[in-house]
Amino acid sequence: MTPRAALAGVVLAALVVAGCEEVRPVPAGPAGGPQVVCQGVPRAACQQGADTGAQGPGGARGGIARIVVRCKLPVCTDVTGEADITVFFVDGRQETSGYGWASAPAMPAPVPVITPPALAVQPQCQGVPFQQCQDMATSIDPEEMARPIESITVRCNGVCTPDSGQGQTIVHHLDGSADLSIDWAYGGGG
């Protein structure tokens, strides 16, 4: 036999032996619990899989020496993955089951509902329908609303209906500063 043929025979024998996994008792992990082996699975998902493997139909199972959690996909991440969980018992038995996880997609932050500030005074509506008058009165700059207000006048120029109109909102402050006048239009009246 040539040295090359002998080497090929040794390599072939090593592959056959490596391909066969002998089931034998494995020493328990720390504190008497089973040893946990993670193969391609992130630590948190691996621990959840090991905890699942340690639970039987009737609750916690005893006599477990080792739990191997092995990724079945090309890549397992904290967000998603699939793994085989193999439980090796101290008596030499083994059980394999599947385990998968997927995190819910991150929910976007809730959009706060912006409610118009409460008016310090009721607006005087001059020729403007009530709802449109309230809308125009509450659309004042928040900084202006923060200053003490004596009166708000919402005045229509011409004819204002619920669908269209144009006019001014006049804000008179208690501090004696100049009145604030805001021109506005809504609907087709602009």
pLDDT(3) > 60: no
pLDDT value, residue 106:
63
What would the mean pLDDT of 143-155 be, rounded to a whole number? 84
- How many other CB atoms sit within 10 Å of the CB of residue 94? 13
Q: How confident is the model at residue 62 (pLDDT cuts 50, 70, 90)?
A: confident
Q: Is the pLDDT higher at 165 or at 7?
A: 165
Residues 6+ apart with CB under 8 A from 124: 151, 152, 153, 154
pLDDT digits (tens, 9 = 90+) for 16-52: 333 333 333 334 444 567 889 999 999 999 998 888 8
Q: Please tell me the distance from the alpha carbon of residue 43 to that of residue 64, in angstroms, as a whole number.
A: 20
pLDDT value, residue 7:
45
Structural domain spans, the chain = 25-102, 124-189
Q: Please tell me the distance from the alpha carbon of residue 97 to that of residue 99, in angstroms, as a whole number.
A: 7
Write the DSSP symbol of residue 127.
Answer: S
pLDDT value, residue 179:
80
Residues 6+ apart with CB under 8 A from 37: 66, 67, 68, 69
List beta partners, residue 82: 100
pLDDT value, residue 23:
34
Q: Which CATH architecture has domain 25-102?
A: 2-Layer Sandwich (3.30)
pLDDT(12) > 50: no
Write the DSSP symbol of residue 138.
Answer: H
pLDDT value, residue 114:
60
Residues 6+ apart with CB under 8 A from 121: 149, 150, 151, 152
Considering the entire predicted model, what is its pTM?
0.40
pLDDT value, residue 34:
83
pLDDT value, residue 148:
83
